[in-house]
Amino acid sequence: MSLIKSDSRPFTVIVEGNIGSGKTTFLNYFKQYHDICVLSEPIEMWRNCNIHNLLGLLYTDIKKWSFTFQSYVQLTMLQQHVRKTECPVKLMERSIYSARYCFVEKMKEDNLLPLPSAAVIDQHFTWIKQNANIGVDLIIYLRTTPEVVYERMLQRNRAEEKSVSLEYLKALHQIHEEWLFHKTLFELPANVIILNANLDKSIITDEYIKCVPQVLNRTMQVQA
């Protein structure tokens, strides 16, 4: 697998948002289009890195495992970005950019990631941006309120998320807002479409339909 930049890559769309913002539901909607390669966040890889549940370890002792976990997240997201596909469109749940700009940044703010460790991640991230084919053409921001995603998180009851607080979700929301809504924090690798992801699943499809032409890169025939 070559990491070196080239012009041959699919039209790449990344779906960003807070924990519980509905990214999986969004991706599932677009699975009906056969010319899209849909890549979910590689959670199962994070739960099984040579039998080690790094996601579980992170939530058990975030200060101890933050560098290990984020290093592996950066690797697995890089693998998603450079993964080959015959489809003209690639739709990814989160990205190497949000891993750095949202989650690593939050760990730095909370002094959970020592500055030398953060420097290692940054050096690797900078090299990847300069040398790997991780271009993005469109960002979909599933904008939610922290209170809504907190309730959704409680309902889905993932074991690793039991220690996630509303305060943490509020802080993570603010970082997403500054990056993707106000556009005052870090670079934007592509234009952003903002959707109201507070809506219930029964009516959220109307929001998805708004961005179908853009996700399909306007040139593809929309299939029912």
Task: Cite the active site residues.
Answer: 93
For residue 184 the two structure tokens come to 């005052």
Please name the amino acid found at residue 27.
L
For residue 95 the two structure tokens come to 């990205």
How many residues make up the chain in this entry? 224
Distance CA 220, CA 70 (A): 36
CB atoms within 10 A of CB 166: 14
Only one residue has tokens 């489809």, namely 87
Q: Find, among 16, 15, 13, 14, the residue nearest to 172 by Cα.
A: 16
Distance CA 190, CA 192 (A): 6
Helical axes 62-82 vs 115-131, angle rounded to 10°: 0
165 phi and psi, to 5 degrees? -100, 165
DSSP codes of every residue in 83-102: ---SSSEEEEES-HHHIIII
Q: Longest C-alpha distance within the chain, in Å?
A: 51
